[in-house]
Structure 1
Amino acid sequence: MQNNNPLARFARGNLVLQIVVGIILGALLATIAPTAALKVSILGSLFVGGLKAVAPVLVFVLVISSIANQKKNQQIHMRPIIVLYLIGTLAASLVAVAFSFAFPTTLTLVTGAEGATPPQGITEVLHTLVFKIVDNPIHAIIDANYIGILAWAIGLGIALRHGSIPTKHVLEDVSHGVSQLVRFIIRLAPFGIFGLVSKTFATTGFESIIGYAHLLFVLLGSMIIIALVINPIMVYVKTKANPFPLVFQCLRESGVTAFFTRSSAANIPVNMELCDKLKLDEDTYSVSIPLGATINMAGAAITITVLTLAAVHTLGIDVDFMTAILLSVIAAVSACGASGVAGGSLLLIPLACGLFGISNDIAMQVVAVGFIIGVIQDSAETALNSSTDVIFTAAACIAEQNKEQEDA
């Protein structure tokens, strides 16, 4: 007999529908009572804080448990996933180049990002990323350094494969316990999204970004092409099946949450829960999802490319075909290292601008424009990045399952 009290009905309800209701109510509250909306914004802060707090522990424990308890001759399918990540990021920068040339954008440059310090080159970005691998494990968990967390978790997992059966059972029980905690936090998503939407509409609104409508059109148009054209093509090539049910489910159940949390790290627990729902191989997604949050950066590649070419068009600089291709490669490599840079993709724009001889002063004014439109740009970028992690992981796992069935 089912429990019909309100809490039980809420727990059994459709999470996506509940989130949609939270979005609508948050927008209404911000419109009717902005002061009250600011007060309830604490719900959003608590939700994002909870996800960010549990994500490093979840990744660390889940990866150790998965590898330590891995059966002999069982393989994880990381190579095809990494290939998809890299191809997807490069394709995103190429699409952004094409869209930027089809709809050239000029900017009214502003100030406001002078205090930020961008990296001096790709070497510095990759140097920082590589050194995060050998970070102290406790420090890595505290700072949510997922490259370091993965490195230590994989190493400990391999070492503990030779551990005793009771030790492996303890790791498995701890992993299940943390997963249950994650499920509880995710069930609170409607309240968290309600608080986040209330704060966004009450404090920022959209009046300040109307002047950047053309720039946003190019940014969002490029992201939509990747989400609804390029990603489905890549999934179809990999799985030989209709890609749209998977793509739309990932956009709905991962992308929406990522759009409002604006944090790939905070969305890791959501993505792992979705992978479990899709019945993907746990040994695979426990590694590929946190890795994707670090190197699978199609949205970041688009942001770097579009804003750099907007600066180029504003200054009247001619760009030939080969330079545009080189920009795509630089944007893709930079995006993969974005997690090693404080401020993410926006602070990698000066690096790309250097390709065209644009001074750092001008480049930082472009970064300031990025901060102004960030309420939409960063949200859409995170939604694309995070949902694509699940799409490519699922595509690779489904392809391997199909291959195994054919061989059987």
Structure 2
Amino acid sequence: MTERSSSFRAPSLVLQIVIGLIAGIVLAMAWPAGATAVGLLGTVFISALKAVAPVLVLVLVTASIANHQHGQKTHIRMILLLYVIGTLAAALVGVAASFLFPSKLALKAVEAGMSAPGGIGEVLKTLLMQIVDNPVHALLNANYIGLLAWAVGLGLALRHASQTTRTLVSDLSDAITWVVRLVIKLAPLGVFGIVASLLAESGLGALKQYAHLLAVLVGAMLFMAFIGNPLIVAVVTRRNPYPLVLRCLRESGITAFFTRSSAANIPVNMELCRKLGLHEETYSVAIPLGATINMAGAAITISVLTLAAVNTLGYPVDLPTALLLSVLAAVGACGASGVPGGSLLLIPLACGLFGISNDIAMQVVAVGFIVGVVQDSAETALNSSTDVVFVAAAEQARGRG
């Protein structure tokens, strides 16, 4: 009886997501009206992830720090270094791809009312204001920088609380984690609704005129995912990086591709870290932090679209300027919000390096939204899966896992 029941075991979550993906494509092709209707499933799934993610970050990080024992090492410094190296390397890959395969844009007028950072100082000021945000406001607006700051502060304060209080915080963390796992189980239905409605409403016809630009963007991201990140991991761990990298792409990247939100994928990454047997004291802080500042895909998007605008206008670009653009794109990417299209409004910041007016820069942003059907999904998949890759690599380098 036991053997028969094990043979009919439910398929893995990844396989269920793939089934949902195929079902969504079939429904969109066979019955577009019905496909649009089931889009509600995708909306509900993404909303549920976004609802639990801010609470998860606040409670889990607070509990992790409050219950941290003296002498335990979290290796956050190494993870932060990997985040910085990975994001800067991605920006360099984006610049190199743009030089090897230059793109040009058909710039058109865009509607007024869109705003973008006026300079790197404004980006840093915004980050500072997010840190000192009201905690209730930070929760309501999913300000993860602010939530991290409050979680760290509360965690440090609660380390001096009674054991009963710290146990209560830990139990609350476990309860939130249980709710998160329940939401993650809805991923196949969510992907089914997202894919069906997306193909029924938009299709891929709008992308044809920007196929070259999209190929450069996605190609650079694939290069970073399958060559750049593995090379970094191999240097750090002295091990074959591909088992780790491929698993993270499969179990984190696929979900992130469809949710198109690094913030919404935080619960998925937390669960993957647990499955990998990583140190909870480490990943409960590093994963939310990575969803905020580890933005390799965003760095590629900013550098490639900026150089596409430069090529369209016929501006010359020398090597020092290209390197400066890489640094600027990496810094700007760290300020990109973890929501769909979060990196696009930082493009004018990079365009300002070449004296491109804000009006033209916002036209480039509009192009970004056009190709964003695929670009933003690929960007989020790279961003989010890389968070787990670097956390696991840091632990492997320290002799864990």
TM-score, normalised relative to structure 2: 0.96
Runs of 4+ in structure 1 over 4 Å off: 340-343
Task: Give the alignment's Cα RMSD to 1 decimal.
Answer: 1.8
How far 1:115 moved relative to its partner? 2.3
Q: Which amino acid aligns with 2:23?
A: L
Q: Which residue of 2 aligns with 1:360?
A: 358
In structure 2, list runs of 5 or more residues that go unmatched.
none
CA-to-aligned-CA distance 1:330-384 (integer Å, 9 cap, x gap):
1111111112999521111111111111111111111111111111111111111
In structure 1, list runs of 5 or more residues that go unmatched.
none
Q: Is the 8 A contact 1:219 1:302 kept in 2?
A: yes
| Equivalent-residue separation in structure 1 for 2:386 and 2:250 (angstroms) | 12
Q: Is the 8 A contact 1:93 1:329 kept in 2?
A: yes
Greater shift in the superposed pair: 111-120 or 318-327: 111-120
Q: Which residue of 1 aligns with 2:238?
A: 240
Q: Which residue of 2 aligns with 1:171?
A: 169
CA-to-aligned-CA distance 1:55-97 (integer Å, 9 cap, x gap):
1111111111111111221121110111111111111111111
- Superposed counterparts of 1:165-204, under 5 Å: 165-204=163-202
| Equivalent-residue separation in structure 1 for 2:140 and 2:339 (angstroms) | 17
Q: Decide whether aligned partners of structure 1 residues 345 and 212 sit closer, same or farther in structure 2, where only a CA change above 3 A counts.
A: same
Of residues 261, 266, 269 in structure 2, which corresponds to 1:268? Answer: 266
Q: Which residue of 1 aligns with 2:26?
A: 28
**2:122 maps to 1:119:** no
Q: Which amino acid aligns with 2:241?
A: P
Q: Decide whether aligned partners of structure 1 residues 382 and 340 sit closer, same or farther in structure 2, where only a CA change above 3 A counts.
A: closer
Greater shift in the superposed pair: 342-351 or 114-123: 342-351
- Superposed counterparts of 1:27-66, under 5 Å: 27-66=25-64
SS of equivalent to 1:115: coil
Q: Decide whether aligned partners of structure 1 residues 197 and 342 sit closer, same or farther in structure 2, where only a CA change above 3 A counts.
A: closer
CA-to-aligned-CA distance 1:31-73 (integer Å, 9 cap, x gap):
1001001111111011101110001111111111111111221
Q: Is the 8 A contact 1:122 1:351 kept in 2?
A: yes
Q: Which residue of 1 aligns with 2:328?
A: 330
Q: Is the 8 A contact 1:117 1:347 kept in 2?
A: yes
Q: Which residue of 2 aligns with 1:88?
A: 86
| Equivalent-residue separation in structure 2 for 1:134 and 1:299 (angstroms) | 27
Q: Is the 8 A contact 1:341 1:347 kept in 2?
A: no
| Equivalent-residue separation in structure 1 for 2:45 and 2:338 (angstroms) | 25
How far 1:114 moved relative to its partner? 3.1
Q: Is the 8 A contact 1:23 1:194 kept in 2?
A: yes
Q: Is the 8 A contact 1:114 1:364 kept in 2?
A: no
How far 1:173 moved relative to its partner? 1.3
Of residues 308, 312, 315 in structure 2, which corresponds to 1:314? Answer: 312
Q: Which residue of 2 aligns with 1:351?
A: 349
Overall identity of the aligned pairs, in %: 63
| Equivalent-residue separation in structure 1 for 2:275 and 2:330 (angstroms) | 31
**2:260 maps to 1:297:** no
Q: Is the 8 A contact 2:95 2:322 kept in 1?
A: yes
Of residues 74, 77, 100 in structure 1, which corresponds to 2:75? Answer: 77
Q: Is the 8 A contact 1:89 1:301 kept in 2?
A: yes
Q: Is the 8 A contact 2:38 2:196 kept in 1?
A: yes
| Equivalent-residue separation in structure 1 for 2:340 and 2:190 (angstroms) | 25
How far 1:401 moved relative to its partner? 2.4
Q: Decide whether aligned partners of structure 1 residues 279 and 341 sit closer, same or farther in structure 2, where only a CA change above 3 A counts.
A: closer
Q: Which residue of 2 aligns with 1:226?
A: 224
Q: How many aligned residue pairs are there?
A: 399
- Superposed counterparts of 1:131-146, under 5 Å: 131-146=129-144
How far 1:209 moved relative to its partner? 0.5
Greater shift in the superposed pair: 156-165 or 45-54: 156-165
